[in-house]
Structure formats: structure tokens, C-alpha cells
Amino acid sequence: MGWTFRGDAGGALQDFNGDGVLDLLVLGGNPRELKLLLGEGDGQFKPDEAFAATAKAAASWGSLTGFRVADVDLDGDLDIVCFGSEVHVLLNDGRGHFRVTGAGLEALGRRHADRD
Ligand SMILES: [Ca+2]
Ligand SMILES: [Ca+2]
């Protein structure tokens, strides 16, 4: 795939698209980027091309330092919280399609993006 892990890369093994097969979310490379690899159920993973556009947006947020996986909107599927100079939340629609919310929350100094 032409994509190399760095020593400090992070990863999460969860079922993101709800098909019952574990998928792999990884943060690595230089510059760092997020990749979602969909499990095929036979021990192999294939890159999720649709996620690449989301990852491209993430790349414009500056250097990502990490992420956490949690159901932040309590709808039963796993979402992704990305950390770096900003904090962004990627909400899952339950089928592994993510949309960006919480855009531009500053990691330090401001609790909410109340910019009225
Ligand atoms: Ca899956
Ligand atoms: Ca969720």
C-alpha cells in the first residue's frame, strides 16, 4: 500500500461499518494521516476509499497527534475524536461513513466553539 508506520503511530481495531468484522483505523505516515482499513473477514484489510476524503480534510487541520474512538453521540456506533492543534470529531453514520463535526475546536484555552 506504500504506507509506512512510524514508531509512534496509533491504531484502533473496531468494527466501524457494522458488518461484524473488525476494521483497522491507523494514524501514521509523514505527514501523519488517518487511514481506515476495512476488515474482509479473512484476516485481510483493504483501504476504505471513501474515508480517504475525510482523511484529506483531517490532513488540513495540522499535525494530528492522536485520536480516540468512542460513541460520542450515543447513537450506538463508533465515532472518532482527532487531537492535534485542533480537536475534530468524525461522526459515524453506522455504516462507516464519517462526517466532520466539532471543526476548529481549539485544543487549549476554549471549551466550546461559541463564536457568535
Ligand atoms: Ca467492519
Ligand atoms: Ca456514534
pLDDT at 4 over 60: no
pLDDT at 1 over 50: no
Q: Which ligand is nearest to the CA of 94?
A: 2
Neighbours of ion ligand 2 (CB under 5 A): 71, 73, 75, 77, 79
Note the pLDDT tens digit of each residue in 22-71. 999 998 877 788 899 999 999 999 999 889 888 877 767 777 888 999 99
Long-range contacts of 96-101 (CB under 8 A, 24+ apart): 96/16, 96/17, 96/18, 96/23, 96/36, 96/38, 96/48, 96/50, 96/51, 97/50, 98/51, 98/54, 99/54, 100/54, 100/57, 100/58
Ligand 2 centre distance from Cα of residue 72 (Å): 5
pLDDT for 46? 95
Note the pLDDT tens digit of each residue in 81-111. 988 878 889 999 999 999 988 655 665 554 4
